[in-house]
Structure 1
């Protein structure tokens, strides 16, 4: 069944006066162009429930409204989603600080459409309240107003100014639109890069645009890149039109949008001087402790205090044999963890802290698993020193009150949310013999690693060199120089070290036996105590130490392993490093076995055994 939208009703709704209740209570057929969850309404700080903003279309115009909280369940269960056709049964119009706020109080879903109906344009609504919040920033956008800047198109047959009154919110862009204009701030711009492929050489750069509704990435190539690169500046606001909207290539972008912009020869860019309340940048911060739960190779936003940093170093990439420049920062936050973050290329060379122990906010940094957890700036990452946000002020106060010599923990394990390469996955679990056979087929390349999930029992733990004395800041090994324990990396001397586990232990299952190597986190789980406590026991009482060692063996665990080739004394061997060790949860183990019995494999085995029994 097809539905005809109530054309022109949007203009009537926004022109209605308070007493025109019949318009607000009327039955209007509309289409949902966008639905987005936002945080607390800045106009109502007491509001704790989630709110949804909707962009509605009558086929001629589109306009924004808030979804009443009693309708949230329809959005949560995706009964209401993009392109849904609804009957708006009751609307409410509130006025907050002389701004009109439209609330959708009651609706009935009529149908789900495959696409947008008609070609609606933005409604010119001087009093429409456009609000959006995020975890760290809130902005309210006034209605578009005319700017006096000069148009600077990449290439255009005329110098006519862009249409400023009908610009779209970023979240309303889609590949089905040809004639669109956005008003947005440039929050990130990459360098102008060169590339080479089978079609020849070229150049490109990309930018990230942000308005109060979201972000989108734009890319320009070759001649268009030359023209637009100098016209777009970070922090400024522009009207942009006549580009192509494509599906986003997630491999090359960390921007949270399903679409991206491709700038073309006729793309027009005009600086907007009316920038009131457009957000500078939006963050969704995770603490350094929470990095343990962030998947490897994904991106995140963090804010932390710069504890120390290295000089620029030059390395040669094993993959490309090219020379790279890098600088390493050590970051800390109130969660008690320290993490190393690497800057590359121009970012590394140009980095200058504004002052000692500056607070830095990072957007879109890549999470790695080197030495547990590490971070890396990419081409689309953004670094901002001392941002004027509440999180920065809180961090500054916390660090200024911190006692001298305070210690921080470093991550020693990776993320383990499932899937090969990133976490323990029972469905892909292998026995030791299968692991050994697959690892032996690895290419003879030292930096190539393979990940395994397995279940095995610890049979023996080497008690020699079970832990090492570590620096309380960077966890590197320290040596006793007579005046204290000296760390060459930090150039600090400690009264006493912090011991950290470094384990070598044999494991076994029904198929084979292998030696695993584990570090501090693995040791804490195996022994149930930290390395300082175990070393104190060893130095105090040999009998108690042997009892602890004896109690640690003959226990079964789930392991996530990282297998890679290693050279020692001109001999190549495969080392199995423990990324994570998990004590058995017998409830989960039984559930997995029951699920396995109910699978096609289990039914096949059961059916085969039943058939054999009947024949006998």
Structure 2
């Protein structure tokens, strides 16, 4: 006989999550009293909001995307009973909300009407109450410390021990945000930049940055001036460290980093950095590989990771920059993989001088820029890294393939396919928006390519372009230091002005539905009929005329060549649809394509 559901509910558990002085329940049982979809957001997966009750109180929650299946499968319904197995509690500006990572629907308890008359959790924090750090409870997450009645410290989710009893709450990197106050992370330094200097009319200084990695994610940290002097020699690539606040958490400057994190750290005067004794419990490096065969459909100037067998390493060469007249050392490598393609990859500076990896080694590169010079080619960024024969699954597979058959294969070069992205679109590659969704294109780890005939119905005008470096082949985002002073971190120099480049987000429609597409500079110029530089100037001088340009670009039908690939953002994942080329509608070609389609469906 099933137990009485009301007797199983963890009464008072929701209030205790937000009040560390109350007894804690590790996996509370609650009743679901409401489920609603959140308003749809552009280019993102559907999200759901649920309200859970413990009879005494109820609280608003948001389901992480990996928990969507509980709703879409119909298992999580209004009135059912749930065990919360993984959650993150936030108290921001007095508003209490839970983010649910994992749960279990207790089907043996069935369903019932709302039990009791639960009241909302008090949303106003006491004025004298200090802001509490985010609390996380689930496998792999670390909780905040809880002061017990006798003054003993207990942990809600068994935080890892620190070297120093003075360490604050142990956090995973993915939980860091500007709302966190006292925290410590344990992370591996996967990359350390050289010390860089800058000088302008008003000031000068120096800086360095490190990439930090733990089980949950990666984050970039930067030290300026005194912190550069104090910390530069302490950090060594491959070492594991405890880093404790005070350390500023701020919105990441994406032009300086290729890490998948919305935030970055800035070391402050009192930031504590200690080398960890235990170096083994933190991962070495995390990759998001693009196969060499897929590079042809990757947008120019994208930053990615690749792995391949080193087929050839060229001699060291030196080039002189046209803009700075400085000499740069370079070495060209040739990589191959089991897609049957080869690619040229350039390494620079000391990496080129000190390169000593033998041919036929498997090499993984993190942080390479994709170029279309002579077809697709790659360049290792200053913030990137390379690892020979890494102990990862992808490397073992490549080694087995190369030893078994790859050594004797002939490989295609991307140089012969430089125009492949704009080649004629085959009829059997055309999809409708409904087919793209129904066939879940891009939901696997491999990129999928398709053609789409659709009409532009909306162009997002905010952040339609970005200020790019003037150096030939760079295109990195630059930062305005002072009027007439735009700094490029990659080139380590200042320009009097930037060149604006498109990063357009458009909504397109056909007779079956709508889709958000990302477009870059070449496609943006074609669709807008002007350069991003000219559009930016027009918006500053004549907003009405600029608005007319956007209006004229709407309601036009194009044949798009698209790439669908799943992107990972911490615990979330979503499909990104990227336009590699676009062609105005040619009605003669379109009529022929439709006629061929009709003939293919004809009944014999």
Higher relative contact order (CA 8 A, sep 6+): 2
CA distance in 2, matches of 1:234, 1:65: 38
Structure 2 contact 290–306 (Cα < 8 Å) conserved: yes
For structure 1, the residue ranges without an aligned partner over 5 or more in a row are 30-49, 59-63, 77-85, 95-100, 133-141, 149-160, 435-556, 560-578, 591-616
Which residue of structure 1 aligns with residue 402 of structure 2? 399
Which residue of structure 1 aligns with residue 222 of structure 2? 219
Which residue of structure 2 aligns with residue 203 of structure 1? 206
CA distance in 1, matches of 2:198, 2:81: 55
Cα displacement (A) at 1:322 = 1.0
Listed one character per residue, the Cα deviations across residues 438-467 of structure 1 (whole Å, up to 9, x for unaligned) are xxxxxxxxxxxxxxxxxxxxxxxxxxxxxx
1:90 aligns with 2:82: yes
Which residue of structure 1 aligns with residue 487 of structure 2? none
CA distance in 1, matches of 2:262, 2:141: 22
Secondary structure, counterpart of 1:381 in structure 2? strand
Structure 2 contact 160–170 (Cα < 8 Å) conserved: no
1:120 aligns with 2:120: no
Structure 1 contact 182–239 (Cα < 8 Å) conserved: yes
Structure 2 contact 133–182 (Cα < 8 Å) conserved: no
Cα displacement (A) at 1:181 = 2.0
Which residue of structure 1 aligns with residue 528 of structure 2? 428
Secondary structure, counterpart of 1:377 in structure 2? strand
Of residues 272, 284, 289, the one that matches 2:288 is 284
CA distance in 1, matches of 2:314, 2:383: 22
Secondary structure, counterpart of 2:381 in structure 1? coil
CA distance in 1, matches of 2:80, 2:198: 52
Alignment of 1:149-298 (within 5 A): 161=164, 163-164=166-167, 166-241=169-244, 242-298=246-302
Listed one character per residue, the Cα deviations across residues 71-118 of structure 1 (whole Å, up to 9, x for unaligned) are 348799xxxxxxxxx999621559xxxxxx98324699x99x999x97
Cα displacement (A) at 1:145 = 3.8
Of residues 415, 418, 438, the one that matches 1:413 is 418
Secondary structure, counterpart of 1:246 in structure 2? strand
CA distance in 1, matches of 2:29, 2:14: 16
Aligned in 2, Cα 1:51/1:193: closer, same or farther, shift over 3 Å? same
Secondary structure, counterpart of 1:396 in structure 2? helix
Structure 2 contact 66–101 (Cα < 8 Å) conserved: no
Of residues 118, 143, 146, the one that matches 2:161 is 146
Listed one character per residue, the Cα deviations across residues 557-583 of structure 1 (whole Å, up to 9, x for unaligned) are 999xxxxxxxxxxxxxxxxxxx98979
Which residue of structure 2 aligns with residue 474 of structure 1? none
Aligned in 2, Cα 1:585/1:163: closer, same or farther, shift over 3 Å? farther
Structure 1 contact 178–244 (Cα < 8 Å) conserved: no
Structure 1 contact 24–91 (Cα < 8 Å) conserved: yes
Cα displacement (A) at 1:228 = 0.2
CA distance in 2, matches of 1:131, 1:187: 21
CA distance in 1, matches of 2:241, 2:79: 36
Aligned in 2, Cα 1:235/1:28: closer, same or farther, shift over 3 Å? farther
How high is the TM-score relative to the length of structure 2?
A: 0.52
Structure 1 contact 300–364 (Cα < 8 Å) conserved: yes
CA distance in 2, matches of 1:588, 1:218: 53
Aligned in 2, Cα 1:15/1:319: closer, same or farther, shift over 3 Å? same
CA distance in 1, matches of 2:23, 2:185: 22
Aligned in 2, Cα 1:230/1:172: closer, same or farther, shift over 3 Å? same
CA distance in 2, matches of 1:231, 1:271: 8
Listed one character per residue, the Cα deviations across residues 501-524 of structure 1 (whole Å, up to 9, x for unaligned) are xxxxxxxxxxxxxxxxxxxxxxxx
CA distance in 2, matches of 1:221, 1:588: 59
Cα displacement (A) at 1:360 = 0.6
Cα displacement (A) at 1:404 = 3.0
1:24 aligns with 2:29: yes
Cα displacement (A) at 1:418 = 7.0
Aligned in 2, Cα 1:224/1:343: closer, same or farther, shift over 3 Å? same
Cα displacement (A) at 1:231 = 0.8
Structure 2 contact 83–103 (Cα < 8 Å) conserved: yes
Which residue of structure 2 aligns with residue 7 of structure 1? 16
Structure 1 contact 183–240 (Cα < 8 Å) conserved: yes
Cα displacement (A) at 1:10 = 8.3
Listed one character per residue, the Cα deviations across residues 547-601 of structure 1 (whole Å, up to 9, x for unaligned) are xxxxxxxxxx999xxxxxxxxxxxxxxxxxxx989797649979xxxxxxxxxxx
Cα displacement (A) at 1:422 = 3.5
Larger Rg, first or second structure (1 or 2) = 1
Cα displacement (A) at 1:28 = 11
Secondary structure, counterpart of 1:194 in structure 2? strand
For structure 2, the residue ranges without an aligned partner over 5 or more in a row are 1-12, 35-45, 55-60, 87-99, 107-113, 115-119, 143-156, 423-516, 532-558, 562-579, 592-604
How high is the TM-score relative to the length of structure 1?
A: 0.51
Aligned in 2, Cα 1:91/1:580: closer, same or farther, shift over 3 Å? closer
CA RMSD of aligned residues (A): 4.9
Aligned in 2, Cα 1:296/1:68: closer, same or farther, shift over 3 Å? closer
Which residue of structure 2 aligns with residue 130 of structure 1? 140
- Equivalent pairs counted in the alignment come to 369
CA distance in 2, matches of 1:312, 1:14: 66
